[in-house]
Amino acid sequence: MLARFIIWEGEDVLQIPSSALFRTHDGWAVFVVEGGTARRRDVSIGQQAGLRTQILAGLEAGEHVIVHPANEIEDGVSVRAG
Protein backbone atom coordinates (compact mmCIF):
# COMPACT_ATOMS: atom_id res chain seq x y z
CA MET A 1 0.00 0.00 0.00
CA LEU A 2 1.36 3.41 -1.00
CA ALA A 3 0.47 6.62 0.80
CA ARG A 4 1.01 10.06 -0.70
CA PHE A 5 0.76 13.25 1.30
CA ILE A 6 0.53 16.63 -0.37
CA ILE A 7 1.47 19.30 2.16
CA TRP A 8 1.48 22.22 -0.25
CA GLU A 9 1.36 22.79 -3.98
CA GLY A 10 1.25 25.75 -6.33
CA GLU A 11 1.59 26.69 -9.97
CA ASP A 12 4.66 28.37 -11.49
CA VAL A 13 6.70 28.04 -8.29
CA LEU A 14 10.32 29.20 -8.43
CA GLN A 15 12.35 26.89 -6.24
CA ILE A 16 16.02 26.20 -5.57
CA PRO A 17 17.98 23.60 -3.61
CA SER A 18 17.72 24.50 0.08
CA SER A 19 21.48 23.99 0.36
CA ALA A 20 22.06 27.13 -1.73
CA LEU A 21 20.50 29.33 1.00
CA PHE A 22 22.38 30.90 3.87
CA ARG A 23 21.29 33.12 6.73
CA THR A 24 22.09 36.83 6.87
CA HIS A 25 21.36 39.49 9.48
CA ASP A 26 18.17 40.41 7.62
CA GLY A 27 17.00 36.98 6.46
CA TRP A 28 18.20 34.74 3.63
CA ALA A 29 20.60 35.05 0.70
CA VAL A 30 22.17 33.02 -2.11
CA PHE A 31 25.10 33.42 -4.45
CA VAL A 32 24.25 33.59 -8.14
CA VAL A 33 26.76 33.27 -10.97
CA GLU A 34 26.88 36.30 -13.26
CA GLY A 35 29.52 36.20 -16.00
CA GLY A 36 31.88 33.97 -14.01
CA THR A 37 31.50 36.02 -10.83
CA ALA A 38 29.68 35.15 -7.61
CA ARG A 39 27.09 37.76 -6.62
CA ARG A 40 25.34 37.74 -3.27
CA ARG A 41 21.60 38.15 -3.62
CA ASP A 42 19.10 38.66 -0.80
CA VAL A 43 15.99 36.54 -1.30
CA SER A 44 12.57 36.12 0.26
CA ILE A 45 11.56 32.53 0.81
CA GLY A 46 8.17 30.87 0.97
CA GLN A 47 7.37 27.19 1.46
CA GLN A 48 10.16 24.78 2.34
CA ALA A 49 9.97 21.10 1.42
CA GLY A 50 13.12 19.45 2.69
CA LEU A 51 15.60 19.68 -0.17
CA ARG A 52 13.77 22.46 -2.08
CA THR A 53 12.72 25.98 -1.06
CA GLN A 54 10.30 28.33 -2.78
CA ILE A 55 11.72 31.74 -3.73
CA LEU A 56 9.23 34.61 -3.59
CA ALA A 57 11.57 37.47 -4.51
CA GLY A 58 15.22 38.16 -5.33
CA LEU A 59 15.80 35.60 -8.12
CA GLU A 60 14.55 35.08 -11.64
CA ALA A 61 13.92 31.74 -13.35
CA GLY A 62 17.02 30.51 -15.17
CA GLU A 63 19.60 32.12 -12.90
CA HIS A 64 22.32 29.80 -11.61
CA VAL A 65 22.80 29.55 -7.85
CA ILE A 66 25.83 28.14 -6.06
CA VAL A 67 24.83 25.04 -4.11
CA HIS A 68 26.72 24.46 -0.83
CA PRO A 69 28.71 27.73 -1.06
CA ALA A 70 32.09 27.36 0.65
CA ASN A 71 33.36 29.91 3.17
CA GLU A 72 35.71 31.24 0.49
CA ILE A 73 32.79 32.37 -1.69
CA GLU A 74 32.20 36.11 -1.36
CA ASP A 75 30.48 38.74 -3.46
CA GLY A 76 32.67 39.46 -6.49
CA VAL A 77 34.94 36.40 -6.37
CA SER A 78 35.59 34.58 -9.66
CA VAL A 79 33.89 31.19 -9.98
CA ARG A 80 33.55 28.49 -12.60
CA ALA A 81 31.32 25.45 -12.97
CA GLY A 82 32.80 22.31 -11.48
Q: Supply the pLDDT for residue 40.
A: 96
- Does residue 82 lie in a domain region? no
- Does residue 47 lie in a domain region? yes
- Does residue 73 lie in a domain region? yes
Q: How many residues does the chain have?
A: 82
- Does residue 2 lie in a domain region? no
Domain of residue 26, residue span: 13-77
Q: Supply the pLDDT for residue 50.
A: 82
- Does residue 24 lie in a domain region? yes
- Does residue 17 lie in a domain region? yes
CATH number reported for the structural domain that contains residue 24 in this entry: 2.40.420.20
What are the pLDDT tens digits along the chain (82 aa)?
787 766 666 778 899 999 999 999 989 999 999 999 999 999 999 999 889 999 999 999 999 999 999 888 999 999 987 6
DSSP structural state of residue 60: -
Q: Identify the bridge partners of residue 32 per DSSP, sorted by sequence position.
A: 39, 65
Domain count, the chain: 1
Q: Supply the pLDDT for residue 5.
A: 67
Q: Supply the pLDDT for residue 7.
A: 63
